[in-house]
Amino acid sequence: SGSDRFYFLEAYNAKTKSFEDPPYHARSSGNKGKGKGKGKGKSKGKSSGASEYSESEAAAMKPPKLRSLDVFSGCGGLSEGFHQAGVSDTLWAIEMWEPAAQAFRLNNPSTTVFTEDCNVLLKLVMSGEKTNSLGQKLPQKGDVEMLCGGPPCQGFSGMNRFNSRTYSKFKNSLVVSFLSYCDYYRPRFFLLENVRNFVSFKRSMVLKLTLRCLVRMGYQCTFGVLQAGQYGV
């Protein structure tokens, strides 16, 4: 715990002088305490790596799926990616456009899907409400472990013809709404997805402010531009 943390994608094998996938025990989330009897009497028969664990043991070591809230969920493409990766279960989703919300419901029948303004919902929760006007249970502080979403990107898209300052500012304010969700719920993990121009818009001003907000909240954060074709899209 604390600020002294590090993250890695590959392990360096000093014998072969090459990088390779780290063993399973290294990829687990540091959830094992110090072992007993390390050092003296250590068996030399076992080799290090994932082969030390049976499939059942490896399955038991997997951390539980994160309870996720998907804001601006659309029909659920982003959540589906996390589901397929085994990262999270989307328990709540917010989507104002009814056709997209209905598609999300059909694909995720166990998810509570809200078809309301995200700002209105957040105000309800912050005022102490437990349900909305339809009787749907609202996620409370401490319930959300992962927050993901893609705020509508009209203000950043290169196809946007209405490039006035007022119009762009209005559209881009949804990013601030999303950050407000993060500030209130303080999930363990937060992911914001947007179009490529989000990085360069207004000389990266919006990106810089977004990162600054997250850092001030106490999060470690990074960003990247991904090529969808590399992920089968």
Query: Is there a catalytic annotation at residue 182?
Result: no
Are 111 and 90 contacting, i.e. CB atoms less than 8 angstroms apart?
Answer: yes
How do 66-71 and 88-94 pair as beta strands? parallel
Distance CA 164, CA 167 (A): 5
Start-to-end CA span in the chain (Å): 37
Are 114 and 156 contacting, i.e. CB atoms less than 8 angstroms apart?
Answer: no
Three-class secondary structure of residue 79 per DSSP: helix
How do 11-13 and 88-94 pair as beta strands? unpaired
Q: Which of 81, 9, 10 is nearest to 228 (CA)?
A: 81
Identify the active-site residue in 75, 153, 182, 213: 153
Distance CA 58, CA 44 (A): 21
Active site residues: 153
